[in-house]
A and B are shown apart, each in its own frame.
Chain A
Amino acid sequence: MTQLARLQEWVPSGREAVLGPHMLALIDWVDSKFVELASKARAHALPVPSLIERSILERAGYFESFPGSTVEQSDGGCMPPAVCYHCYAKLAATSLQEPGAWTCVARCRRNEDNKEPGRLRAFTMREIVFVGSAAWVRERRQEWMDRILGFAQSLQLAVQLDVATDSFFAGGEARGRKLLQQMKGLKFELRARMDAEGTPLAISSFNLHETFFSHRFGFRLEDGTDANSGCVAFGLERWALALAVTLGPNEAFRLVE
């Protein structure tokens, strides 16, 4: 990371970072690969606005799930803490004729109390959301874990998949949610090894929501059963950072050519 700072490609600035042109191009490149994979998996591209209405976050239970977390508001809405909330709002009160997948990307912002290098307050997140029966969603998640693990390894990243929980769950009932998440394997993270000491950086997560969002937003399957949902999230700056640190800036930036 020192080398990236010297090259003016990743210059830490408080809890954010100023990125240079090569890093920005690498982010676009890695995102284009995820778009290709999503397209092959027949995910529908879902354009989303840069802000999200607070009422959507409330309906999604965001403030209950992550008590103490704040979102930045402006005139038109809030900076989204994750991009997939747009998708559940889009599906609200619908009946799906068949299982489906959607992909969207947006700048997100979280005020996490985590000083891990690469964990920025403002970042770009691409997500792929899938909605269907419980078994179908679980199968899609497994496929995506296999696919992205293989993709990361093809880029020479040293990665592993681990059961995870959301690190910013607080106490009270939120502890119960965290324990359920852990117990049922609802969240996996793909973590890249960033140095010789093995410092990990989570670059993607693979999540099952069961019927949490379909109950909140009222979307069902055509046969009347509850829809399950799941998502895959890619932290694009983290992917680019992991590539630049692991391969070295020169080799990483050549990927774009």
Chain B
Amino acid sequence: MSDARDKLLNYINGELLTDPTRRASADTPLFEDGWIDSLKILKLIAFVELMTGRNIPDEEVVMKNFRTVTTIAEHFGSKP
């Protein structure tokens, strides 16, 4: 899980967040204060799909699974 979490943090801070003053930690709420917009959410989903090797249906894109890097890693990192 920590491997998935590290990959996600590297991607989000290195590629996704274009504002250099913003750096996410594992428990930063990603969907507050405009951190993730409508383009970035698609990029984030594509990255998680690439990381896990499976498609993510829209029904799984809910706050419970995507609130923070930790929750994404916990939900998707442990699934084949």
Contacts and interface: CB of A to CB of B under 8 A. Distances in A.
Interface of A: 173-180, 182-185, 210
B38 A183 contact: no
B31 A180 contact: yes
B1 interface: no
Given A176-B39, A179-B41, A184 B58 contact: no
23 contacts: A173-B38, A174-B38, A175-B42, A176-B37, A176-B39, A176-B41, A178-B58, A179-B38, A179-B42, A179-B45, A179-B58, A179-B61, A180-B36, A180-B37, A180-B41, A182-B58, A183-B31, A183-B41, A183-B61, A183-B62, A183-B66, A184-B63, A185-B63
Nearest to B32: A184
Interface string B33-54: 0101111111001000000000
Contacts of A175: 42, 58
Contacts of B62: 182-183
A176 B63 contact: no
A178 B41 CA distance: 10
A36 B58 CA distance: 39
B38 A176 contact: yes
Nearest first, the 6 closest Cβ-Cβ pairs linking A and B are A176-B38, A177-B38, A176-B42, A179-B61, A176-B41, A183-B63
B59 to A, nearest CB: 9
Main secondary structure of the interface of A (DSSP, over half): helix
A173 B38 CA distance: 6
A180 B38 contact: yes
Nearest to B58: A179
Query: Which of B38, B41, B63 is packed against the most chain A CB atoms within 10 Å?
Result: B38
Query: Which of A183, A184, A185 is packed against the most chain B CB atoms within 10 Å?
Result: A183
A139 to B, nearest CB: 17
A164 to B, nearest CB: 13
B63 A173 contact: no
B21 to A, nearest CB: 18
Nearest to A65: B38
B73 to A, nearest CB: 17
B1 to A, nearest CB: 22
Contacts of B42: 173, 175-176, 179
A173 B39 CA distance: 6
A185 B66 CA distance: 13
B34 to A, nearest CB: 8
A8 B58 CA distance: 42
A173 to B, nearest CB: 5
A177 B37 CA distance: 8
Given A173-B42, A179-B42, A210-B34, 20 more contacts: A173-B38, A173-B39, A174-B38, A175-B58, A176-B37, A176-B38, A176-B41, A178-B58, A179-B45, A179-B58, A179-B61, A180-B31, A180-B37, A182-B58, A182-B61, A182-B62, A183-B31, A183-B61, A184-B63, A185-B63
